[in-house]
Amino acid sequence: MPRLSIWYVRVSLIYLFLGITLGALLLAEEGVPFSPTLESWLPVHIELLTVGWLVQLALGVAYWILPRFSSGPPRGNQGLAWLSFFVLNTGLWLAALGFLSSKPWLLPAGRLIEIVAVALFVWGAWRRVRPWRK
């Protein structure tokens, strides 16, 4: 497995742990109220599990499993792929902070950065998606 895929998958597992833990706290809060502000963390819980876990896991596995090039770097531009990883995580944290802060620009900025990150990944992976040849 390439190093970038390892990073994507391991970081996605960290987000899975954080998202499930936050979800457990949110459920516990429903039964035994202990923090009146915890309910505001629901969008962060969703962000951690969708973008943090699901999207990153999918991108990590896609980077690993898509067909390799026969000449040049086997997985294309690695710098572009790594940039996508860092940009996605930056966008995720900006969006999560946007849900919790009083700065309304953080959420749309985070979302835009997440879109840019996925576009970078698609740009780097597009030529690797090709039909099987005999």
How buried is 92 (Cβ within 10 angstroms: 0-12 exposed, 13-18 middle, 19+ buried)? buried
**In the chain, what percentage of residues exceed pLDDT 90?**
73
Of 69 and 59, which is predicted with more confidence? Answer: 59
pTM recorded for the entire structure: 0.89
Q: Write down the pLDDT at residue 77.
A: 85
Mean pLDDT of the chain: 93
Residue 35 DSSP one-character state? -
pLDDT band of 35, cuts 50, 70, 90: confident
The mean pLDDT value for 89-102 works out to 95
Write the single-letter amino acid at 113: I
**Burial profile 54-87: b = 16 or more Cβ within 10 angstroms, e = fewer:** ebbbebbebbeeeeeeeeeeebbeeeebebbbeb
Q: Is residue 129 very low, low, confident or very high in pLDDT (cuts 50, 70, 90)?
A: confident
pLDDT band with cut points at 50, 70 and 90 for residue 134: low
CA–CA gap between residue 124 and residue 83 (Å, rounded): 10
Q: How many CB atoms lie within 10 A of CB 126?
A: 11
14-28 pLDDT, tens digit each: 999 999 999 999 999
d(CA 25, CA 92): 21
* Domain spans, the chain: 3-128
Helices and strands: H and E segment counts in the chain: 5, 0
